[in-house]
Amino acid sequence: MPMAAPLLDVKSRIAELKSLPAFPAVAMKIFSLRGNPNATIKELSQIVESDPVLAAQVMRYASSPFFAYRGKVDSVHSAISRVLGFDLVLNLSLGIAAAKPFKVPPGGPISLTSVWRLAIHCAALMQRLSGLLPVSIRPPEGMAYLAGLLHNIGYLLLGHLFPKEFMVLNKVISQNPQRSVGELEMETLGVEHSKLGAWLLEAWELPEELIVSAREHHNEAYYGSHSVYASLALISARALKVHGVGDGESADLPLHILNSLELSEYQVTMALSRVLEGTDNLDSMALMLAA
């Protein structure tokens, strides 16, 4: 039996778009440092400090119980040099700067606050889990963190380009909490947020690891290139779903994915508990970014 046409055919309208939103200027400056082996903490600090919201987020994250730093974080430079490190701040700043300009209607299960809340928590959990993986498949913690921040950027693109359709999808998701978001997206829009996010990151020419994480983070069967990022995003979103955060298809942690990562449910649970120790701080970051 052929699938019914979507209620709102967003996919065909996207195909008619002349261009996608441009990569933000601050994000471009930060991204340019990724390929510069001589980049310094001072250079990164100056870029971050040029955006007050971004600077506040970096300092707030460095002060999180997640890092248990006992000193005072009184500047972006100290957040980088004493607590977070260059790579993590670069990727944290890049993710926030890339996604912050999107304007999304408020309210609903995939509101701007909800999307940022999942992004911030998922990034922290992916960062922590990445450090538990075998060296042979272990991604850099900073890149795992960035993948967590940007894996659901498709929601932001949808809400930014098609606010009315985004509000309809929010209503449909609210009325069908037992069904997967992906199914509801296909029935309502004809396209999933995962595909939208991948298209945007491809258009921005960002690393393939991020594109794969955005495109495949709900796909239990994906074993292609950079699958470790998609698998970490899937596991993180599902683990967080138990605590009312995120859009995981369920709260079950697929055994075959845990085995492929050489992780146990106990390790995921312990990593999650450590992240949730700082949930008030992470929620504050999400609220500030959604403001």
CATH code, 288: 1.10.3210.10
- Residue 1's pLDDT band (cuts 50, 70, 90): very low
- Nearest Cα neighbor of 12 from 172, 227, 165, 183 is 165
- Looking at the fold, whether 217 and 126 belong to one and the same domain comes out as yes
Residue 239 lies in a domain: yes
Residue 171 lies in a domain: yes
CB 120 within 8 A of CB 66: no
Domain final residue pick, 86, 101, 116: 101
Per the structure, the count of domains in the chain is: 2
CB 258 within 8 A of CB 264: yes
User: For the stretch 56-65, what's the b/e string if a residue is b when 16 or more beta carbons lie within 10 angstroms of its beta carbon?
Assistant: bbbbbbbbbe
Domain final residue pick, 74, 101, 128: 101
- Looking at the fold, whether 90 and 113 belong to one and the same domain comes out as no
Domain final residue pick, 56, 82, 101: 101
Using one digit for the tens of pLDDT, what is the confidence trace for 255-286? Answer: 999 999 999 999 999 999 999 988 888 888 88
Q: What is the pLDDT of residue 64?
A: 81
CA-to-CA distance for 144 and 138, rounded, in angstroms? 9
- Looking at the fold, whether 282 and 176 belong to one and the same domain comes out as yes
- Looking at the fold, whether 157 and 272 belong to one and the same domain comes out as yes
Q: Is the per-residue pLDDT at 240 higher than 90?
A: yes
Q: Is the per-residue pLDDT at 3 higher than 80?
A: no
Q: Could you give the 3-state DSSP secondary structure of residue 54?
A: helix
For range 181-200, the mean pLDDT: 92
Of 14-18, 33-37, 221-225, highest mean pLDDT: 221-225
- Residue 7's pLDDT band (cuts 50, 70, 90): low
**Phi-psi category of residue 61: left, alpha or beta, with phi > 0 → left and psi -120 to 50 → alpha:** alpha
Residue 2 lies in a domain: no
Instruction: List the domain range (segments joined by +) for residue 27.
Output: 22-101
Residue 27 lies in a domain: yes
- Looking at the fold, whether 32 and 155 belong to one and the same domain comes out as no
- Looking at the fold, whether 139 and 163 belong to one and the same domain comes out as yes
Please state the pTM of the whole predicted model: 0.91
